[in-house]
Amino acid sequence: MRNYKPLLYILAIIKLLAPFILQSSFYQPHRDEFLYLAEGRHMDWGYMEVPPLLSVFAWLTNLFGGSMFWIKIWPSLFGAFTFLLVGKIVLSLGGRAFALILAWLPFVIDGYMRLFYLFQPNFLEVFFWTAIGYCITRYIQTNRNLWIYITGIAIGLGLMSKYSVAFYTAAILGGLLISRHRKIFLNRHLYLAAGIALLIFLPNIIWQYNHRFPVLAHMDELQQEQLQFISPADFIISQFMMNLPCVFVWLAGLAFVVFSEKGKPYRPFGWAYLIVIVLLLVLHGKDYYALGAYPVLFAFGSVYIEESTLGSFRWTRYAMLAFSLALGLFALPVVLPLAKPERLAAYYEKTGLNKTGSFKWEDLQMHPLPQDFADMMGWKEMAMQAGVVYNSLPKPQRDSTLVYCRGYYSAGALNHYRREAGLPEVYSDNASFLFWMPDDYSRFRHLLLVAHNIPGKDDVVFQQFEKMTVKDTMNMPLFRETGMKFILFENGNDSLSNITRQGVAALKRRFIR
């Protein structure tokens, strides 16, 4: 029998290298990547937004210099690992070359290309969802308890990367309970594996408890600002649009596990998918929250299609590949920023892509670029402008000036580039940056604010200064944060230090038990 493992590894290497080759060098880290890189400079068992596992890779990235290569290598590596797991499922089901290629295509021409190039918790989440699916598949195939224990480890590490791994865990357990595999709940090894998962996750549970569960505050904020605006219809449509070039692969996978006799042992994955979708619909989850549920379906679907296109139907394989490649390559400039912003905007306008949902931002308005792309530029320029303003001050004034940002993204960007820009450590009370605010402000008499708007009279701290001057404004039209102001507040009065200290302490007290 022919060995298809060399092809599997070649495809994984291509997946690893492709985004480095394709993405334009014009672009900088994504706004959210700056937050996670900052967490790597403040190692802890938890953060306001996420569990701690991503901060380990952030710490390594910062240790190696924080270049774009080191920021992007981790999601790219885990993207290749995720495909390897999918490919191994394909081979375990008797799949051959065509099935491997079908299972690989979503990783290089679909939304997974972007997901596995952004240094965000999603790349770990999707990997661990897939790892859980792989382990359950191997348990079904071999009935070896070893796979139950590896599943427990994958769940524990997955929960340390993103809490939504709990959704897939619950969905898989629900799928097993509904199916003929419910006897697993009589297996003591399942409960020992659950104990291992809990033990791995325990440090974060303790951290959350000691900080009054900030994840709940974060989720409430997310619900108020974003999730409540997501309609069920948009969510369902997006499931097809995100996977459109290879939509027939995951649909075939779902059909395989739900309807076919050969797929009957794997029926828990069909139930798990449906449970995940229902949970996210009820909770108004974002469309990409479901991305982790598809890789296992790609494996099943690719094998099912390969077996269904033997003999006289073999010609349909070429039609499927042509459809996927044509549509995928056409839309690839929406998945990754392959050219400078102005050129991309012109392409979107010419092709009509700018009328699709990818161009609707969180403000529910249509824009010239996808929101992610508008979040991948302008940060270094912002840091350099802030540096010019800061370094234009006399040295005694610089030494007593606090640089403060309204948003975690601007604070993270300024800190990332601060050595080049000649800036001191930059602070914010937004997101996890609140935990890193100083406790003493006695040496600060001046403040450089980086924000879109001038503070109103109800913002008490800013009323303690004698003078306010807008020193500069960002002008980069396609940058999401264009219009950002650099505002200098000078000559704080004697009450400034105490008012600031008390205000920050009050914010922190919400998260101290």
Q: Which pLDDT tens digit goes with each residue over 352-377?
A: 999 887 888 888 789 999 999 999 99
Q: pLDDT tens digits for 58-72?
A: 999 999 999 999 999
Mean pLDDT for 206-221 is: 85
Taking residues 8-24, report their average pLDDT. 96
Residue 174 vs residues 66, 266, 287, 304: alpha-carbon distances, Å: 42, 13, 22, 24
Closest CA to 304 of 247, 260, 274, 239: 260
Residue 226 binned pLDDT confidence (cut-offs 50, 70, 90)? low
Domain residue spans in the chain? 5-335, 341-374, 379-509
Question: Is pLDDT at 254 greater than 60 in this prediction?
Answer: yes
Rg of the chain over Cα atoms, rounded to whole angstroms, equals 25
Name, in order, each residue with C-beta under 8 angstroms of 230's C-beta and a sequence gap of 6 or more: 284, 285, 286, 287
Question: Which residue do the tokens 């060995």 mark?
Answer: 3
Least confident of 38-42, 133-137, 508-512: 508-512
Q: Around Cβ 365, how many Cβ atoms within 10 Å?
A: 8
pLDDT at 1 over 70: no
pLDDT at 403 over 90: yes
Per-residue b or e along 170-197, where b marks 16 or more CB atoms closer than 10 Å to that residue's CB: ebbbbbbebbebeebeeeebbeebbebb
Residues 6+ apart with CB under 8 A from 283: 227
- The pTM score is 0.94
Assess contact for 245 and 331: CB atoms under 8 A. yes
Average pLDDT, the chain: 94
The rounded distance, in Å, linking the Cα atoms of 428 and 444 is 15
pLDDT in tens, 261-315: 999 999 999 999 999 999 888 887 778 888 999 999 999 999 999 999 988 888 9
- What's the average model confidence in pLDDT over 89-108? 96
Span 244-266, average pLDDT: 94
Query: What's the pLDDT score for residue 225?
Result: 59
Question: For residue 117, what pLDDT is reported?
Answer: 95
Percent of the chain residues past pLDDT 90, beyond the cut: 86
Q: Of 427, 423, 438, 436, whose CA–CA distance to 42 is shortest?
A: 436
Query: Tens digit of pLDDT for each residue in 168-177?
Result: 999 999 999 9
For residue 107, the model assigns a pLDDT of 96
C-alpha dist (Å) from residue 87 to 94, 249, 410, 418: 11, 14, 40, 43
Compute how many other C-beta atoms are within 10 angstroms of the C-beta atom of residue 259: 11
DSSP state of 427: B
Q: Are 259 and 97 in contact (CB under 8 A)?
A: no
Q: What is the 3-state secondary structure (H, E, C) of 331-380?
A: HHHHHCCCCCHHHHHHHHHHHCHHHCHHHECCCCCECCCCHHHHCCCCHH
